[in-house]
Amino acid sequence: MLSCDVFSLKFDYDEWPGAQTNDETIYRPYNDSIFQIRKYYSKVFPEDEFKSLEEQKENSDDHIDITKVFKIKYSINILPSVGFFVVDKDPENDNIKTYYNTDVNFMGLVNSTEELEIYSTDTLQQVIQFKWEEYARKHHMVGCFFHFFYMVICILYINIIYIKD
């Protein structure tokens, strides 16, 4: 079921730019209703580099190279909404923050599965890639830095105390 496109919603809105000079795949979080995303391009992509080519030409003093323009393909991966999620202002609950599916941890379920084929699906790979880039990479880079720092201190200590004496 995960290998099909059930959890990947592809869309093309006239309000969103259709071409860009950047050919990278970009993952962005979006926690509001998918039915309201049409109005929130500038919220999802606030950087100047993601403005439409016309806006970039108007606002830029530099010349923008438009010799290579790429078609943008937008899609929403709704797989993370299967588990626990939060609605900041829930209209059904007096506009207060509401937690749904608190007992369902999707990534925990994926982690505990015995079926390794699940990791080869595009939608799950996108979720893992996003979580790595947004959260885990920085955490592990800091841990790596402290590990190397500890190793340098340990080598210096051994060198000074045991080898040079």
Rounded to an integer, what distance in angstroms lies between the CA atom of residue 141 and that of residue 53? Answer: 35
Q: What is the pTM of this model?
A: 0.67
**Tell me: the pLDDT tens digits for 56-84?**
777 766 666 767 888 889 988 888 777 77
Rounded to an integer, what distance in angstroms lies between the CA atom of residue 14 and that of residue 39? Answer: 11
CB neighbours (10 Å) of residue 143?
Answer: 10
Number of H-type helices and E-type strands within the chain: 5, 6
Rounded to an integer, what distance in angstroms lies between the CA atom of residue 61 and that of residue 23? Answer: 22
Q: What DSSP designation does 95 have?
A: T
Q: Where do the domains of the chain lie?
A: 1-77, 81-112, 114-165
Q: What is the pLDDT of residue 160?
A: 93
Closest residue by Cα to residue 47 from 22, 15, 68, 82: 22
**Tell me: the pLDDT tens digits for 21-64?**
888 888 888 877 788 888 889 889 988 888 887 787 777 666 66
